[in-house]
Amino acid sequence: MKDLSVNIAGVEFKNPVMEGSGTFGSGMEYGEFVDLNRLGAVVTKGVANVPWTGNPTPRVAEVYGGMLNAIGLQNPGIDTFIARDLEFLKKYDTKVIVNVCGKSVEDYLDVVERLSDEAADMLEINVSCPNVKEGAIAFGQKADALYNITNEIKKKAKQPIIMKLSPNVTDITEMARAAEAAGADALSLINTITAMKIDIHKRTFALANKTGGLSGPAIKPVAVRMVYQTAQAVKIPIIGMGGIANAEDALEFIMAGASAVAVGAMNFHDPYTTVKVIDGLRDYMEQYKVSDIKELIGCVK
Amino acid sequence: MSKIKETAKVISQEKLALDIYSMWIETGIAKEAVPGQFISVYTKSEARLLPRPISICETGDNSLRIVYRIAGKGTEEFAAYKEGDRVDILGPLGNGFPLTEIEDKCSNGREDQGLILIGGGIGIPPMLELAKQLKGKVTIVVGYRDADMFLDEELKKYGRLVIATDDGSVGTKGNVIDAIKEQGVEGSVICACGPTPMLRGIKAYAAEKGIEAYISMEERMACGVGACLGCVCRSAEVDDHSKVNNKRICKDGPVFKATEVEL
């Protein structure tokens, strides 16, 4: 019997595999393909205090080994989210991590407080979306702003909080240390990398927003490096993500120091990617006679 | 109606016109599909990670046909598939045309003048299965760039075919609306698929005539199943799912009443 369970900030996950916020909705659509009970957690798409319309289209574009998106955090607002999405997830034996976004500190706090008594196991604070003009990444690119918002949210949050970090910074460890110092319970990284694609036939930007976030296998080596650097810099647990397509990729993140991993863009390539990663982790443990996956976390120094 | 992701077998591949290909695929998706739905087709390269959404042109017992345009490296790969090759597909996706509602609207009209099906360019293929399945008098209006046409012979079997070409080499010179006016096409309900400027023209034409138009929209997609919110369109009213004026083309569409969406 292989032990795939991991513990992050006191929350016990049956396995270390979840999906990246925004790539899976709240699981309703992908639940037609994947048994959500098998996932370590469902990480929901970012939710704000009120509905957000998001950006104009085109919002997505394919690039070699990845994709760009500039959805702009379209979401139905916390009221609908609680009544519909959280209610739906109650049917499943999996942990629920709610991704929270906002334009101001007050927006974030509003959502965090609304979730106090709801069935959310952890909150992931999105301070790293590159596609909205206000809030989000503005809090994730300056250490003092990140410290401040983390500190404010920690005062109100009933659940453990995960700060989702942006790779669009000079030194990821400076951000990680600021979040840890302010009381963050865990970190998740990386969010997408700001990028651009030009449509040479139309002589315009591929995305209406001009820039978008790059995700997919193309960013994996950058993400593994950042997870490793962060793991050396802080003591709090890390959820690693960025282009994970299979168990081998997931193991790189785990060995670099991630306690759990998230599958993002590759859900679009294959809706079964998450469960294939779980099965592949078990196969690896059989092959190398590893009884507990926790032995592998950060094993590469 | 359940969605199927499978590795299906290519039955045949045929070039219909410049860059336009027709592929029959053996798949159980055919049994579930209604006209106007689409499938996601996956390339064999992980470097091209997003599926290509392609409308269903025709369905058989255990097979379906897609007619598609080579628009890049992904569709170029599909065009090279031969009989017996394998292709990963997911579907059926989207809502499709509401056949009963359309037929009811037609017969309850002031005077049943029949249906007008309109296809522009690569929006023509879904009109074939729709024309086959709809009962009643059908006029099919199609728009091409020039005389390098496709599916025209097959469409003729299911109704009066009216053609527009950009260069005037066949039928009316101009667009599908020009052809409708010039060739005296009348109808009580419109079903259309094609580029956004064409759909915009049809929306205005339907409003002017006071008839219902069902339009099938397209947009760059990522997941194809309604999760990522990549392919939204502007809706006239606040959408019940999104709680904003956005509808998901892949899930709530691709077929909408023209009055439901802003173009």
User: Dihedral of the CA atoms B1, B6, B12, B18 (nearest 10)?
Assistant: 80
Q: Which residues of B touch A51 (CB under 8 A)?
A: 242-244
Cα-atom radius of gyration of chain B, to the nearest Å? 18
Return the pLDDT at A143. Answer: 94
Tokens of A109: 């706090």
Query: Please, where are the H alpha helices in chain A?
Result: 78-80, 87-89, 105-114, 143-156, 172-181, 220-233, 247-256, 266-269, 273-287
Number of inter-chain CB pairs under 8 A, A vs B: 111
Does residue B125 have a pLDDT over 70? Answer: yes
Give the strand pairing for A161-164 and A122-126. parallel
Indicate whether this model's pTM tops 0.80: yes
**Whose structure tokens read 């080579």?**
B70
Tens-place pLDDT, residues B21-52: 999 999 999 999 999 999 999 999 989 999 99
- CA A8 – CA A15 distance, rounded (Å): 11
Does residue B110 have a pLDDT over 60? Answer: no
Distance of CA B30 to the CA centre of its chain: 16
Q: Which homologous superfamily is A6-54+72-194+215-296 in? A: Aldolase class I (3.20.20.70)
User: ipTM score here?
Assistant: 0.94
B191 touches B167 (CB < 8 A): no
Return the pLDDT at B113. Answer: 78
The structural domains of chain A, with segments of one domain joined by +, span 6-54+72-194+215-296
Q: Is B5 an interface residue toward A (CB < 8 Å)?
A: yes
Fold of B99-216: Rossmann fold (3.40.50)
Residue of chain A whose alpha carbon sits nearest to that of B4: A33
Angstroms from A224 CA to nearest CA on chain B: 19
Q: Are B227 and A30 a contacting pair at CB < 8 A?
A: yes
Backbone angles phi, psi at A248, to 5 degrees: -60, -45
Share of chain B above pLDDT 90, in %: 92
Q: Which residues of A touch B230 (CB under 8 A)?
A: 57, 59-60, 69, 71
Mutate which of A42, A50, A60 to test chain B, going by most B C-beta atoms within 10 A?
A60
Q: Are A69 and B225 a contacting pair at CB < 8 A?
A: no
The residues of A whose Cβ lies within 8 A of any Cβ of B are 22-25, 28-30, 32-33, 45, 51-54, 57-62, 64-67, 69, 71, 74, 76-77, 80, 216-217, 245, 265-272
- Other C-beta atoms within 10 Å of B190: how many? 25
Angstroms from B231 CA to nearest CA on chain A: 7
Tens-place pLDDT, residues A114-144: 999 999 999 999 998 777 766 667 788 899 9
Q: Which residues of A touch B241 (CB under 8 A)?
A: 76
- CA B115 – CA A106 distance, rounded (Å): 54
| The CATH classification of domain B4-93, taken from the options 3.40.1010.10, 1.20.1260.10, 2.40.30.10, 3.40.50.720 | 2.40.30.10
Tens-place pLDDT, residues A105-114: 999 999 999 9
Does residue B150 have a pLDDT over 60? Answer: yes
Q: Which residues of A touch B224 (CB under 8 A)?
A: 268
- CA A22 – CA A265 distance, rounded (Å): 9
Query: Considering Cα of A155, then A157, then A158, then A159, what sign does the dihedral take?
Result: negative
Task: Tell me which residues of A are annotated as active site.
Answer: 129
Tens-place pLDDT, residues B209-228: 999 999 999 999 999 999 99
C-alpha closest to that of B18 among B171, B172, B122: B122
B233 touches B247 (CB < 8 A): yes
Q: Is B71 an interface residue toward A (CB < 8 Å)?
A: no
- CA A262 – CA A265 distance, rounded (Å): 10
Question: With left for phi above 0 and alpha for psi between -120 and 50, is residue A81 left, alpha or beta?
Answer: alpha
Distance of CA A56 to the CA centre of its chain: 23
Mean pLDDT of chain A, nearest integer? 96
Q: Is B220 an interface residue toward A (CB < 8 Å)?
A: yes
How would you label A60-72 residue by residue, b for 16+ Cβ within 10 Å and e otherwise?
A: bbbbebbbbbbbb
